[in-house]
Amino acid sequence: MTTDSETETTTGVLVVGSGIAGCATALAAAREGARVTLATKATEPEHASSWWAQGGIAVTRDDPESFKDDILAASDGTADPDAVDVLVENARTAVEDVLFETLGVSFDAAGEEYEYGREAAHSKRRILHVDASTGRHILGPFLSHLASIDAVTIRQDTAALELITHEGRVHGAHLESDGEVEPVFAGTTVLATGGVGALYPQSTNPDGATGDGITMAALAGADVQDMEYVQFHPTVCVESDPFLVSEAVRGEGALLRNGDSVRFMPDYHEDAELAPRDVVARAVARERERTGSVTLDVSPLAFAEMFPDLAGMCESRGIGWQSGIPVAPAEHFLCGGIAVDSEGRTSLDRLFAVGECSRTGVHGANRLASTSLLEGLVWGLRAGRAATGVDPEPIEAPDLLDRDPALPERFGAEKSVRLHRVMAEHVGLERTPEGLRQATAVLRRLKGEVDAYTRTRTSRDLYELRGKSVTALLIARAAADNPSSTGCHYLSEEPTAHAD
């Protein structure tokens, strides 16, 4: 058990994760006068999806109603209108305060005017961007700014493994650093651990997107919601060293052509290439299967001038973009997650969640492009303010120290291959009730095998594997329990009467 001498590690607000959502939380909490510990397993800023964001950050201009309508339409009417109001009404202030004034991000502009971009399913130009590498131009300055604030301690290469809970209240987390595990007690704990890309063989996310925060919260008893809504991005260049080709490229006029060079999107949706993401992703997958390949034809635009970063990425991989960029769908974003209110509070006392690991209701069954950075920023600021003013209460926490970290050889690799196979086959872009039933059974077994080791071992690899197996099971179960195709959850067969 934890002794008094070991409980010296306390903080006002413990933020877990250093993407845009964790950074915004830390900033807001520090501004309120809290002592903040920002723990991140990242060793480099690029270990967060926020770094890789391309198209940009959507922001309300003089169009709150149409922005709201676009979000609701992209979600198939399933987004929570109150949550969307919070996003739309706070967008401008959050962007001006943090991105313009505090961080001084140099968004692309022509003279005095910002160059607002347009992406699929947006009815207006409202996306602030820096070329097609917006994320790094936000996250780099954000981390530097936080490092200059005395009240904020950043602990890199430090993974949260478990929440410390007592009678439904969260008191901090066990943090692992350099193989050592210690409890850190916090007045409030804020999970900002990002997405779940590592569950799928092809994803746009960095490798560390293993669902840790969702797993810790769910295992502690927090509500999770909408887990079946996993978004696949339609245009990922998968030739070698995969990279995302931003929706902004289609927004500026690029066309999708199948293996017979035929433009196919008008046959799938009236908005053609600018249809919601889930529609385009399924169409690309089907046309690849039917005709062998799909390419993004960038000849209608001045590609190299408008998207020099992307042109450079093609060229460095030997892809001649002039004859079209080969694309396929890949896992991109989880719309659901830890259920939170308009200030990021979860169902557990003193636990908050922000960013991609949370479920605010803004995305419903399908996310509108370029609203994720904004959601992380807006909810991060709100949660950071709401999470302050609570003193840490060091309690007797179960000890995670002194356990044998060694795992059988190839244990992790074998489990990850099995998990990827079942997620790609049964819990991907198109699902069937029978496939989901099979996936749930396989994943339950796999989780049991991993759990058997977490009772006696504490290595970070093992906890990441646990994160993957728990979130995969949560996704498969939620999908199996939802008989209606909506947004990202698409059933290619209806459930039969005797499906249980």
Ligand X SMILES: Cc1cc2nc3c(=O)[nH]c(=O)nc-3n(C[C@H](O)[C@H](O)[C@H](O)COP(=O)(O)OP(=O)(O)OC[C@H]3O[C@@H](n4cnc5c(N)ncnc54)[C@H](O)[C@@H]3O)c2cc1C
User: Can you give the binding site for ligand X, defined by CB under 6 A?
Assistant: 16-22, 39-42, 47-50, 52-57, 134-135, 159-160, 192-195, 204-205, 208, 212, 244, 333, 355-356, 370-373, 376
Task: Tell the smallest beta-carbon distance from residue 119 to ligand X (Å).
Answer: 8
Task: Tell the smallest beta-carbon distance from residue 86 to ligand X (Å).
Answer: 16
Dihedral sign, CA of 233, 237, 239, 242?
A: negative
Q: Is 56 exposed, middle or buried (0-12, 13-18, 19+ CB in 10 A)?
A: buried
Task: Tell the smallest beta-carbon distance from residue 332 to ligand X (Å).
Answer: 6
Q: Compare residues 213 and 392 and give the one whose CB is closer to ligand X.
A: 213
Q: Compare residues 245 and 423 and give the one whose CB is closer to ligand X.
A: 245
Task: Determine the residue type at 489.
Answer: H
* Alpha helix positions (H), 195-330: 212-219, 247-251, 265-268, 277-291, 303-306, 308-316
Q: Compare residues 246 and 440 and give the one whose CB is closer to ligand X.
A: 246
Residues with Cβ within 8 Å of 248's Cβ and at least 6 positions away in sequence, in order, are 54, 55, 56, 117, 118, 119, 127, 129, 132, 307
Compute the distance between CA of residue 152 and CA of residue 279 in angstroms, rounded to an integer. 43
Q: Compare residues 130 and 442 and give the one whose CB is closer to ligand X.
A: 130
Q: Compare residues 16 and 26 and give the one whose CB is closer to ligand X.
A: 16
Task: Tell the smallest beta-carbon distance from residue 307 to ligand X (Å).
Answer: 12
Kind of pairing between the strands at 294-297 and 255-258? antiparallel
Task: Tell the smallest beta-carbon distance from residue 370 to ligand X (Å).
Answer: 4
Neighbours of 500 (CB within 10 A): 6
Q: Which residue number has the CB closest to ligand X?
A: 19
* Residue that is written with structure tokens 């987390």 in the block: 173
Compute the distance between CA of residue 481 and CA of residue 101 in angstroms, rounded to an integer. 46
Query: Which two three-digit tokens encode residue 494?
Result: 């209806």
Q: Compare residues 79 and 439 and give the one whose CB is closer to ligand X.
A: 79
Task: Tell the smallest beta-carbon distance from residue 237 to ligand X (Å).
Answer: 11
Residues with Cβ within 8 Å of 298's Cβ and at least 6 positions away in sequence, in order, are 249, 254, 321, 324, 325
- DSSP secondary structure letter of residue 8: G
Task: Tell the smallest beta-carbon distance from residue 57 to ligand X (Å).
Answer: 6
To the query of whether residue 277 is one of the catalytic residues in this protein, the response is yes
| Spacing of C-alpha 200 from chain mean position | 13
Residues with Cβ within 8 Å of 292's Cβ and at least 6 positions away in sequence, in order, are 259
Q: Compare residues 190 and 480 and give the one whose CB is closer to ligand X.
A: 190
Query: Which two three-digit tokens encode residue 171?
Result: 């008191």
Q: Compare residues 333 and 490 and give the one whose CB is closer to ligand X.
A: 333
Contact indicator for 218, 358 with CB cutoff of 8 Å: no
Which entry of 126, 250, 257, 277 is annotated as an active-site residue?
277
Contact indicator for 47, 41 with CB cutoff of 8 Å: yes
Q: Is 485 left (phi over 0), alpha (psi -120 to 50) or beta?
A: beta
What are the residues facing 345 on neighbouring strands? 352
Task: Tell the smallest beta-carbon distance from residue 470 to ligand X (Å).
Answer: 12
Compute the distance between CA of residue 412 and CA of residue 215 in angstroms, rounded to an integer. 17
Neighbours of 317 (CB within 10 A): 13
* Residue that is written with structure tokens 């989780």 in the block: 447
Work out the angle between the directed axes of helices 134-147 and 20-31 (0-180°, nearest 10).
Answer: 30
Q: Compare residues 50 and 469 and give the one whose CB is closer to ligand X.
A: 50
Q: Compare residues 124 and 286 and give the one whose CB is closer to ligand X.
A: 124
Task: Tell the smallest beta-carbon distance from residue 173 to ligand X (Å).
Answer: 8
Task: Tell the smallest beta-carbon distance from residue 279 to ligand X (Å).
Answer: 19
Q: Is 108 exposed, middle or buried (0-12, 13-18, 19+ CB in 10 A)?
A: middle
| Residues belonging to the active site | 277
